[in-house]
Chain A
Amino acid sequence: MSSYNLTHLKDLESEAIFILREVAAQFEKPVMLFSGGKDSIIMFHLARKAFHPGKIPFPLMHIDTGHNFTETIEFRDGLIKETGETLIVKYVQDSIDKGTAVEETGVNASRNGLQTVTLLESLEEGKYDCAMGGARRDEEKARAKERFFSHRDEFGQWDPKNQRPELWNIFNGRKKIGEHFRIFPISNWTEMDVWQYILYEKIELPSLYFSHKREVVNRNGVLLGKCNYIQIKDSEQWEERTIRCRTIGDMTCTGLSESDAGTIEEIIEEVASTRVTERGGRADDKRSEAAMEDRKKEGYF
């Protein structure tokens, strides 16, 4: 290998940093969406790298369903305290109280879809013209066609058939007033890249990602963690399992995986040998084959 060659992780890192700086240069009021999951933690880490030794020139924003794992919130607050960066928290509960979002009912009720309402309201209220997200193209097939710079109309909608072509590394963030962009700096990263980077960079993560014992319910093959927001049916019961999270989202739809992986090295081995996609455990994607495409069109992350 020539000495003037980057490793794949350094190549991906450089690409993401380039995108983040492009955002800061092209937009007036960008915001970075932060969920407390590994992808947003990585994105935050990359943003710190991109603007070092300065501070990140935009705030983070968490759309809080109120149904989070406590570990996520503790980790989030600790990270913000340690780095001194700015975090804005917006609550789905506020949209529900206002009447713009309506709580789902029934046993599978989740606030995951309602996040879109709160997100769009918050972007409009804060006059943000760009929201960065940690979505990756390998996660789901509707995402495989997503651009780095994804244009949204004044309703926050995505028109997959009418996307702007994206060439070389020249990004076009021009828009009309009221429109905004969703930008995905880690589009080209795979789940494996994320874990390898976490190891390489020694990035701290919420303990949820590592194997632990937890009471869960098995619903249609998806393991959900015990919390007040999940009602169980008569036929179901809570049982203790050794699990970890492969993705972290709202507690009502984050499927947990049975796992003994307690270190990042062990997780990498697990990811290498696993035969189910990361989102395979997400109850929100299971609703229909085109579930993600539909949610994205409406303005989901």
Chain B
Amino acid sequence: MSEPKGYLDMELLRFTTAGSVDDGKSTLIGRLLYDSKAIFEDQMELLEETSKQRGEEGVNLALLTDGLRSEREQGITIDVAYRYFATPKRKFIIADTPGHIQYTRNMVTGASTANLALLLVDARHGVIEQTKRHAFIASLLQIPHIAVCINKMDLVDHSEEAYNKIKANFENFSSKLEIKDVHFIPISALNGDNVVDRSAKMNWYEGSTLMHLLENIHIGSDHNHVDCRFPVQYVIRPQSAEHPDYRGYAGRVEGGVFKPGDDVTVLPSGFKSKIKSIDTFDGGVEEAFSPMSVCMTLEDDIDISRGDMLVRENNKPTIEQDVDVMICWMNDKSMIPRGKYTIRHTSQTARCIIKEVKYKMDINTLHRNEDDLEIGLNDIGRITIRTTKPLFFDSYRRNRNTGSIILINEATNETVAAGMII
């Protein structure tokens, strides 16, 4: 694009932060927001006033991230909160999640849409159980990039040894996980060292500051541009005088690149056709890739509806009714063995039965427990389900969009689980 103004050409980075107040997470987020001028005067005044009312010294930046009154009263964060800031290079969306073990479901929620996970480690305490848990969830959710911020460096005399020791510890632990791209940054969120500006007190550190990393990390390859997947979301049929016979398949590209003229196969019917046009309000496009929302028309008149998927004949997803899933349980009521749930996957809805629980994961030790198979709130486990109709899926590792599912309790309609297809 050759827009005259830089801000029309910015990228969007979604990241998630996990940690407790003690890690300095709120201070760090407060600093990122403050230094990028995303905190306003009236918000600051309100913070000062509230901090004073609560008898706290100085301004408590944690109050900025605690949105609901019940949270402020209890001094805890109970839900995922979304925050926004921008620099001249990028726009950022933070999914800020509480770090306690009972909030695994929130971390998973925040991680599900993130390009990057920001993990905080207290330099005095090093890699603790919570760090391992967060790293595990980041790897489970296949967050493409991880930034490990070793915070409170000011409390360990900005020591390179302390930093190296924590880095080695983390690497030792994470070698057991599937983490693709990890960066370590020694910071002091309180003093702003290596957050936006380079620290003069840690000249031994030659890497980038946190902000520099957030602004420059390459996210162009985070989407799958190889396997063509187009789940049909909605059929557009204007039946108007202007467009009497128009039949367009609206949806978002969830993988690969589609072009007019491409041969496509429709699942589940198996009918083949050719893409006639890829339409948008602003006219036809020559290419559509993830995560573009478009509307496709085909050369042939075939019956296609929501839940169908356009793919390439020589690169089809797995088409199966028995699906192996890593599941994170998100509801107070435990999973019912052999229970029936509604499953949502891309634009498909089906019913499924829990056929088998293979193991439950101890997320602190990574131990696979095959004896206690009750999957309750915040538990993570591997299960097999059987669906009422075939799903068209890829492994979550290969494609986060076509490899993810949710389960819904049919009596309460609540979303009870998030699943990653193995």
List the interface of chain A (C-beta within 8 A of B). 1-2, 4-15, 17-18, 21-22, 24-25, 48-55, 137-138, 141-145, 160-161, 163-170, 172, 174-176, 187-188, 190, 192-193, 196, 199-200, 268, 274-277, 280, 289-290, 293
Contacts and interface: CB of A to CB of B under 8 A. Distances in A.
Given A18-B293, A277-B40, A137 B11 contact: no
Contacts of B280: 49, 52
A167 B49 CA distance: 35
Nearest to A19: B293
B418 A293 contact: no
Contact of B342 (A174, A193, A199): A174
Interface string B1-37: 1010101111110000000000000000000000001
B173 interface: no
A143 B344 CA distance: 26
A2 B68 contact: no
Contact of B9 (A2, A7, A143): A7
A141 B67 contact: yes
Interface stretch (B83-91, B199-207, B314-322): B83-91
A192 B86 contact: yes
Contacts of B330: 165
A138 B42 contact: no
A51 to B, nearest CB: 6
B10 A7 contact: yes
Interface majority SS on B: helix, strand, loop or mixed? mixed
A167 B46 contact: no
Contact of A165 (B1, B42, B234, B418): B418
A53 B279 contact: yes
A10 B252 CA distance: 13
B105 to A, nearest CB: 6
B8 to A, nearest CB: 6
B180 interface: no
Contacts of B43: 277
B238 A54 contact: yes
30 contacts: A6-B12, A7-B10, A7-B11, A8-B11, A9-B10, A14-B292, A14-B293, A15-B291, A18-B252, A22-B233, A25-B347, A51-B236, A52-B281, A53-B238, A54-B243, A141-B64, A144-B82, A145-B68, A161-B79, A164-B415, A165-B105, A165-B106, A165-B415, A166-B415, A167-B112, A170-B405, A172-B415, A192-B7, A277-B43, A289-B46
Given A21-B250, A168-B401, A276-B41, A54 B408 contact: no
A25 B11 contact: no
A172 B415 CA distance: 7
Contacts of A188: 82, 84, 93
B119 interface: no
A144 B67 contact: yes
Contacts of B234: 21, 24-25
Contacts of A190: 84, 86, 91
B58 interface: no
B418 A167 contact: yes
Given A167-B109, A196-B8, A52 B79 contact: no
Contacts of B274: none
A196 B112 contact: no
B172 interface: no
A48 B413 CA distance: 30
Nearest to A292: B67
A160 B82 contact: no
B170 interface: no
A289 B53 CA distance: 12
Contact of A144 (B9, B81, B90, B406): B81
B252 A14 contact: yes
A277 B11 contact: no
Which bucket holds chain B's interface residue count?
A: 35 or more
A84 to B, nearest CB: 10
B237 A54 contact: yes
A263 to B, nearest CB: 13
B395 interface: no
A174 B408 contact: yes
Given A5-B220, A200-B8, A144 B400 contact: no
Interface of B: 1, 3, 5, 7-12, 37, 40-43, 46, 50, 64, 66-70, 78-84, 86, 90-91, 93, 105-106, 108-109, 112-113, 219-221, 223, 225, 233-234, 236-238, 240, 242-243, 246, 248, 250-252, 257, 279-282, 289, 291-293, 295, 306, 330, 342, 344-347, 400-401, 404-406, 408, 413-415, 418
A163 B292 contact: no
A200 B79 CA distance: 34
Given A52-B280, A170-B405, A25 B237 contact: no
B400 A6 contact: no
Nearest to B43: A277
A9 B3 CA distance: 13
Contacts of B418: 165, 167-168
A187 B86 CA distance: 16
Contacts of B242: 53
Contacts of A10: 292
Contact of B68 (A9, A168, A293): A293
A11 B12 contact: yes
B391 to A, nearest CB: 13
Contacts of A15: 291, 293
Contacts of A24: 234
The 9 closest A-B pairs by CB, nearest first: A2-B220, A141-B67, A54-B238, A49-B281, A8-B12, A174-B413, A17-B293, A280-B42, A52-B281
Contacts of A13: 293
Nearest to A46: B281
A163 B84 contact: no
A14 B42 CA distance: 32
A278 B252 CA distance: 32
B351 to A, nearest CB: 12
Contacts of B342: 174
A30 to B, nearest CB: 12
A15 B82 CA distance: 16
A64 to B, nearest CB: 29
Nearest to B404: A168
A280 B40 contact: yes
Contacts of A199: 5, 8
Given A48-B281, A196-B7, 20 more contacts: A4-B257, A6-B11, A8-B12, A11-B12, A12-B12, A17-B293, A18-B293, A21-B233, A49-B282, A53-B236, A137-B82, A137-B84, A141-B64, A144-B82, A145-B67, A145-B82, A161-B79, A165-B109, A187-B82, A289-B50
